[in-house]
Chain A
């Protein structure tokens, strides 16, 4: 029987590149209407280069996930987006990162206000050893976001509600935040991040310390938050990336190998390295 595969179909099959890391990122780096853009970003820890010429757009009101093997630079790149790498002395960042067309390294931008616009949730839940109320209220207080105690109460309540935590803690706002369960603590940290009304929320493996149910609740929360915030999430779990993100970016040895629509990356990745990683063909 003759093969009935036509020429046009052949073009659709996977053009697999060689196994070398590509010079140019495959897939679509750019999006329409990006919230943040990064161009030609290089990061060095002393002599060692951690990020090699990465350019990427972060789309507005979308979830983009960074995946890749350990040490590939995804967390480093994430921390560039809110200049957390400034706290590490030997870390040097060059390249251009913009939020709403403003360069975040511009001396006119105060890093403190940048971090109010680009919030961060960390791998291990780290609530302040203060009361639940004070945890959420701390950010608005130092940034002067509330004009009165009433407003502050409102900010706290709405943040906790949006984080899906209000019903569980509304009767014990004065109890220490560290007394909550792991999953609740992480949602508290998310509420704390959204209390300062950021535009972007960065999440560094937020569920890796949580059990499956807590993880599912946080993922559901991320799904609800995406309408209002742009979310960038670093994750070790490809299943998680497949579940919650709109776009996926695959990092390898400090380079951005491929970025694209999540479904496309996971059903038909353009680069062999991406395919090998997500199918578990190399460690």
Chain B
């Protein structure tokens, strides 16, 4: 798989190579920002240190700026280079990944502010469930970014597996949270918020799966989204 990666940077035009390199760097940086957000949340769940979540705002701003910058890079690349074949797939894939990353950022911002509310009161009801989900999703995000960086189809496959895991964990967490609500109706408000946190985290997982789909498109040129209506499949 690595040869394809090298191939991307073998155009006769060195400027084109540099532009693609810059694109790749930018998107991985953006992914890193999203990972930072998620890491902050995870650490908060284990240490209860609220200062960790204060940076979330800043990171969110950076993520939005990165989205604008990357969109402009994509536009410039299309205008100037008229990419085709693998170059085109790279540019299209990046443009889609940007959107998914930005959405992840939005969801994680919600997670951050809600977590602060829910778990500051010292009560740790539901923390475990959330932690479980968050850990799985963090792994998915990390794997999806690696899959893109290395154009690793096997890794992409693992992400689909992990999605099913996350689904299970999510479902069981919901059941647990429902039980908590029934046990102590005074907690319903708070537990509901925890449910939103869980949902946001699950959404982040979905976006990571999307990224894995784009990686397959990029490497194999096959569109594996929406299997119900799509002929293509990923073996």
Q: A contacts B directly in the complex (CB < 8 Å)?
A: yes
- Judged by a CB distance under 8 angstroms, whether A267 is at the interface is yes
Is B79 a contact of A217 with CB atoms below 8 Å?
no
Is A266 a contact of B12 with CB atoms below 8 Å?
no
Please report the C-alpha to C-alpha distance between residue A60 and residue B79 in the assembled complex, in whole angstroms: 24
Interface residues of B, dominant DSSP: helix
B8-26, CB < 8 A from A: 11-16
Interface residues of A, dominant DSSP: helix
- Judged by a CB distance under 8 angstroms, whether A209 is at the interface is no
Is A220 a contact of B13 with CB atoms below 8 Å?
yes
Q: How many residues of A contact B (CB 8 A)?
A: 13
- Judged by a CB distance under 8 angstroms, whether A10 is at the interface is no
Is B15 a contact of A223 with CB atoms below 8 Å?
yes
Is A266 a contact of B79 with CB atoms below 8 Å?
yes
- Judged by a CB distance under 8 angstroms, whether B76 is at the interface is yes
B residues near A (Cβ < 8 Å) are: 11-16, 75-76, 79-82
A258-283, CB < 8 A from B: 262-263, 266-267
CB closest residue in chain B, given A264: B79
CB contacts between A and B, total, < 8 Å? 31
CB closest residue in chain B, given A243: B80
Chain A residues with CB below 8 A from B14, complex form:
220, 223
Contact partner, B12, options A217, A242, A262, A263, Cβ 8 Å = A217
Q: Mark A202-243, 1 if CB is under 8 A from B, else 0.
A: 000000000001001101100100000000000000010011
Task: Identify the 6 closest CB pairs spanning chains A and B, nearest first.
Answer: A216-B12, A266-B79, A242-B80, A239-B82, A220-B13, A267-B79
Is A243 a contact of B12 with CB atoms below 8 Å?
no
CB closest residue in chain A, given B80: A242
Contact partner, B13, options A219, A262, A267, Cβ 8 Å = A219
A residues near B (Cβ < 8 Å) are: 213, 216-217, 219-220, 223, 239, 242-243, 262-263, 266-267
Chain B residues with CB below 8 A from A243, complex form:
13, 16, 80-81
Please report the C-alpha to C-alpha distance between residue A219 and residue B13 in the assembled complex, in whole angstroms: 7
Is A216 a contact of B82 with CB atoms below 8 Å?
no
Chain A residues with CB below 8 A from B79, complex form:
242, 263, 266-267
Chain A residues with CB below 8 A from B11, complex form:
216
Chain A residues with CB below 8 A from B80, complex form:
242-243, 262-263, 266
Is A242 a contact of B13 with CB atoms below 8 Å?
no
Decide yes or no: A263 and B76 within 8 Å by CB, A217-B12, A220-B12, A223-B14 being known contacts.
Answer: yes
